[in-house]
Amino acid sequence: MKGNDVGGESSSRKFKVDARVLLSLGRESIKDQTTALMELVKNAYDADAENVQIEIPEESDVEQILRIKDDGLGMSSNDINEKWLRIGYSHKRVNRLTSQKGRRATGEKGVGRLSADRLGAALELRSRTQGQSVAVAVDWDDFDVDGAELGSVSVKDLVNVHPELPTRSSSKGHGTELIISKLRQSWSSDEIESLEVELSTLIPPDSPFGKGEFSIWMKKGKGGELQSLVAPFTEDSQLEMHGDFDATGRLSYRITEKPIKPGGKRHQVKQGKIPWLKLSGAKEAAKFDIGRVSISLKFYLRAGVSLKEFNIADLREYLDTYGGVRIYRDNVRVKPYGDPANAEGDWLGLSARKTSNPAAASRKGYRFSANQLMGSVFIGRDSNPLLKDSAAREGLVHGHGYSQLRAAVLSSINLLEVIYHERFTKSKGDGGSPDETLPDVVGDIKAGLKEVREELAKVGQGGAGTANDSASRLLLSSVEKIDDIAKRVLQAEREIEDLAGQATVYRGLATVGISSAVFGHETESALAQAKISTGLAQKLLGRDVPKIEAGLGEIAKASRAIERVSVWGQFALARVKKDKRRRVRVDVSKIILHLVEEMRPLFEASSIELKANIKSVLEMRAFQMDIEALTLNLLTNAYYAAGRSVKNRKVLVEVVKGTSEHSSLIIVVEDSGPGIAKEHISQIWAPLFPQGQMIKAGLLERAWVFQSFNPSLRK
């Protein structure tokens, strides 16, 4: 007896691979034909090509054939057999630097070559290296057969066929040509235009490889001319920032500004170094661990500025086409980040940031618009191992590494926004006190009028300085007029209070919207669970012999998931009930305790412990919706911040009597999150400020007063 076999010898088994597996790895796993073509161009880059030439048919062309030529290293007959025809094998995993140029291989999964199947049913590969040529023909539809094993499908050799190399190449006869026919779909003019933009941004403009060592050429249609695909470059940016995060997350940056006078040189406005602990407030458990990252950012004004290279209309078109913050890994672009035409391109949420806070540059919370920024983020496979490819060859896995990269880039953008706000404010002069509220102004007017009225009344009653009866009558008349003004001020105050009631509704709705975005993952996961469970239930109950108990179990899971969605919907609607929009005397402690109980399941779903320390009845005259909106904002912020910790996620809510003579109650929300850097303290009250913070809110009878303090969660 051998092994675990009983009554006989042990045996071994082998996997068999169905020929149809190539369909799953090729045409069925690639999003679109633009992505497929980009994969083949990146293969040419890995082959150390200096030139790639693409000949793409237009819809009107009779001959629908796509050609891709490069002057890379080429392949020998042995390379075809041992590398190209071995699915899943990639020599790039072993030989990461493919040549003396030092390029890091962009593909390591060994399936990029199957992108040709997404483009067309027939492929002819011609390659030449070391003075010898080899050519093969593949009909991808031959693999679309049920029951056939992968090795049973033949790939034909072609005899006496040599590759045609790029026209502009200075290569000494080595390179590869791909000829793809029986196209899966035609290329429309819009798709070709989009492809041109994609290819022109494949290599960053400020990379060494963007200066002639890797050039992409395109010929559109049978009678088209060969054109170089290079993204236009302009120095008309108002501010530029170049920053480097080292292995510990310390940011070293330099910011330059466009010269005011025509013909002047860019000049430095600020440089410095900020440790990650100060920039993000990260604790040891959330330390910077994604490796070195470099960032280049350019901010443009889209109006009211003199330009060196473009007119304003051309600049706007340029930004609408090439704007956005792109990610480049090993100097090759990672899609779809930074693509203005793609909803997923705004990976930093720049549009949402601006929409939530459309303040002008004179305000502290100023935010750049998405169409005002151009940027490049540089990472590497070896230097940033936590930033991994998604399975679909487009984008990065949205895990810890991606979240940290996003936080680093947003911190850099925020720093640039602060600098621009400071420069703008300095150039325009101090515009007064933008933080003074309308109730403050009305209060000052009321107090001043009262004082003047009392003084004039004394004079009118025969006090010092009265010359005659005429003067007395004049003064009394003034008192009456001032009294009328005071009444109008009181009327204005009542109108303001009505507006405040409306604003309360809007604040409540905005708060629910913000919270819905933050807690959205919980409802999304619940819906996904419901979908999976209902699908499994259908299969279990639809069998010839139904598995009733298992099916009922899945239905129960779906019901619980739908209930979680229902709870959030009821919670959101409860925030804006009509009875909460009236200013009455309310028990703040009871309101907040109820809110905490409603939100506890949402926190627990993300392994965050939510506790409340409220022991006494604390009453005040206020809008219940305002109290809920304020607390919900703080809890949402704390949820975001605590979620950035790896372990010991906690949030504590307290309500206590105010210690100062002005405040009646203090609401405290503390979290175990990373806190906030002092460089950003002046901006933490800006809507949707991107980092979590711990804050204390003092409630007055007529206004909310906020105060920032250092994070220190009580145990």
Confidence class of residue 280 from pLDDT cuts 50, 70 and 90? Answer: confident
Per-residue model confidence as pLDDT tens digits over 398-457: 888 898 999 999 999 999 998 998 888 777 654 434 444 445 545 555 665 666 566 666
- Is the per-residue pLDDT at 292 higher than 60? yes
Say whether 128 sits in a helix, a strand or coil: strand
Show Cβ contacts of residue 224 under 8 Å, excluding neighbours closer than 6 positions.
58
Residue pair 295/309 in contact (Cβ under 8 Å)? The answer is: no
Show Cβ contacts of residue 259 under 8 Å, excluding neighbours closer than 6 positions.
265, 266, 267
Report the candidate in 351, 341, 305, 293 with the shortest Cα–Cα distance to residue 321. 341
**Mean pLDDT in residue range 321-330:** 90
Position 122 scores a pLDDT of 93
Burial of 376 by CB count in 10 Å (0-12 exposed, 13-18 middle, 19+ buried)? buried
Position 701 scores a pLDDT of 31
Per-residue model confidence as pLDDT tens digits over 36-93: 898 899 889 888 888 999 999 998 888 899 999 999 889 999 988 888 888 765 555 5
Q: 438-460 vs 469-518: helix axis angle to the nearest 10?
A: 170
> What is the C-alpha separation between 384 and 288, in angstroms, rounded?
11
Position 293 scores a pLDDT of 95
Burial of 144 by CB count in 10 Å (0-12 exposed, 13-18 middle, 19+ buried)? middle
Position 242 scores a pLDDT of 94
Confidence class of residue 713 from pLDDT cuts 50, 70 and 90? Answer: very low
- Is the per-residue pLDDT at 705 higher than 50? no
Query: What's the whole-number average pLDDT of the chain?
Result: 75
Rg (CA), the chain: 34
Per-residue model confidence as pLDDT tens digits over 539-587: 777 777 778 787 787 777 777 766 666 655 555 555 555 455 466 788 8
Position 232 scores a pLDDT of 73
**pTM check: above 0.75:** no
Higher pLDDT, 160 or 357: 160
**Mean pLDDT in residue range 314-342:** 87
- Is the per-residue pLDDT at 178 higher than 90? yes
**Mean pLDDT in residue range 110-116:** 75
Most confident of 4-8, 285-289, 296-300: 296-300
Per-residue model confidence as pLDDT tens digits over 1-37: 444 554 555 677 877 777 777 777 767 777 788 888 9
Per-residue model confidence as pLDDT tens digits over 656-698: 776 655 456 788 888 887 666 665 666 666 555 544 333 333 3
> What is the C-alpha separation between 169 and 699, in angstroms, rounded?
72
> What is the C-alpha separation between 411 and 404, in angstroms, rounded?
11
Show Cβ contacts of residue 355 under 8 Å, excluding neighbours closer than 6 positions.
none
Position 711 scores a pLDDT of 36
Phi–psi pair at 116, nearest 5 degrees? -60, -30
Higher pLDDT, 302 or 97: 302
Show Cβ contacts of residue 190 under 8 Å, excluding neighbours closer than 6 positions.
none
What single-letter amino acid sits at 481?
K
- 448-456's contacts with Cβ under 8 Å and 24+ in sequence apart are 449/482, 449/485, 449/486, 449/489, 450/486, 452/482, 453/479, 453/482, 453/483, 453/486, 456/482
Residue pair 599/635 in contact (Cβ under 8 Å)? The answer is: yes
